[in-house]
Amino acid sequence: MSQSGTPVPAPARVTANVIRGCLGNLVEWYDWFVYATFSVYFVSVFFPKGNPTAQLLSTAVVFAVGFLMRPLGGWLLGAYADRHGRRRALTLSVTLMSVGSLTIAFTPSHDAIGLWAPALLVLARLVQGLSVGGEFGSSASYLAEIAPPGRRGFYSSFQYVSIVLGQLAALLVMIVLQNLLTEEQLQSWGWRIPFVIGAVAGLVVMYLRRTMEESRHFQEEQARAAAQDPAVKERKGVRALFAEYPRELIAVFGLAIGGTVAFYTYTTYLQKYLVNTAGIPKSTVSVIGFAALFVYMVLQPVAGHLSDRVGRRPVMFVFCVGGMLLTVPIMTVLGNTGNPWIAFLLMTIALTIVSCYSALAAIIKAEMFPTKVRALGVGLPHALVTATFGGMTEPIALGLKNSGHETVFFWYVTGCVALTLVATLLVREPSRTSLLEAGEAGEAPASRPLPKTAPLT
């Protein structure tokens, strides 16, 4: 029992809550990746018939519009989570994603409704971008707060497990449908199936998330705010974030830049790189990518558990030093090998290094902020970095290749990882006697001044 009288969840209940939270994250990222995976099949449905390249470009632009909505989602849903609770924000997030998928699944073709078809597609992607942008901060805050002391790194690492699993699920659905349906059936109506699957799964997860327990830390923060003297004006939301936690915001930006660029380089762009530069067949690259991503997914809880044992910063330093020293050699060798086994080995090594960031991406940022601004503090800067650096990773890589300066991209990734190293130096390890542990031992969290880093209170 905590100081506020709120019961501390038992380990089994913690696991159940983490599963509910991560299932929603999985569904959200499945829906997000399904658009990119199946766009080649539905492109002619939403846009006027004509130039296939122009049609594909139109779907890419719509995808980018969804990306640009993520900062707005990080702001709005992050503030909502800090004001109304993690459970309500996560439920709203997966509901928005489900609505977006349903809209795409049942929107008539351009031949049937004209310009309303691309308009509804854009609207659906705007809603989905809002959803994904708000999911990260709320989910990171919830997983960090619901996990028991000493295991927060382990439980929080499942956020990226669910992200990668969503990507793999989208790819698996495509493989199954390609084997069950003809090309004509996929282009006619089969492409709608994965969106229906995502929408239905989202509605199921919406119900499951409504049954999650609210974070004890949020409940205690609500109790603290209610007991506060009304005459005392306390900053909240974005005003509090920028006025009281500028150092933490800069650290989150820096941490996210290198980690995000490396993540998109090795999980998304690398498969195109192996085809276009290394000359490995597409079918072989798909198998390499699937296998390497599966290993990467399994490594997340390993790295998270390690951070609970040795600390966050040492694990992050592995990512920073490994990324700075090995990015150029790995990318250089990958570009000059036609051996699929060597490609798989190097991709796995690269993703092993990235796992030392991604497994900690939620917890190391969540520990920087107090409960009142945690979801916003994690979600907003992360969404801004993802929409800019993450969204531009592939265009920068392809642009440099097209101009004959492909190796410059390797150094670009290295430089971004160097920024994460600088940010890691700004992060202080949570004390073993931090306010969170003190509160769980029976001491009121508000009884001492809040340190500006790693309070998780």
How many Cβ atoms are within 10 Å of 205's Cβ, its own excluded? Answer: 26
Handedness of CA 143, 149, 153, 155 (dihedral sign): negative
Q: Rounded distance, CA 305 to CA 308, Å?
A: 5
Contacts of 28 (CB under 8 A, 6+ apart): 93, 94, 97, 131, 132, 135, 166, 202
* pLDDT score for 53: 57
Q: How far are the Cα atoms of 15, 140, 141, 144 from residue 148, in angstroms, in the given order?
A: 10, 14, 13, 9
Instruction: Extract the tokens encoding 417.
Output: 């990882």
Ramachandran quadrant class, 127 (left: phi over 0; alpha: psi -120 to 50; beta: rest): alpha
Q: CA neighbours within 13 Å on the CB side: how many for 325?
A: 8
Instruction: Extract the tokens encoding 151.
Output: 């295991």
Handedness of CA 83, 87, 88, 91 (dihedral sign): positive
Ramachandran quadrant class, 39 (left: phi over 0; alpha: psi -120 to 50; beta: rest): alpha
- The beta strands (E) that lie in 354-437 are given as none
Q: Rounded distance, CA 147 to CA 5, Å?
A: 18
pLDDT tens profile 283-306: 788 888 889 999 999 999 999 999
In contact, 324 and 411? CB cutoff 8 Å: no
DSSP H helices, 47-69, are 52-68
Contacts of 405 (CB under 8 A, 6+ apart): none
Among candidates 260, 301, 28, 24, which has minimal Cα distance to 158? 301
Helix (H, G, I), strand (E, B) or coil at 2: coil
Q: How far are the Cα atoms of 96, 120, 165, 350 from residue 102, in angstroms, in the given order?
A: 10, 11, 21, 36
* pLDDT score for 350: 96
* pLDDT score for 455: 52
* pLDDT score for 301: 95
What residues in the chain have per-residue pLDDT under 50?
Answer: 1-6, 432-454
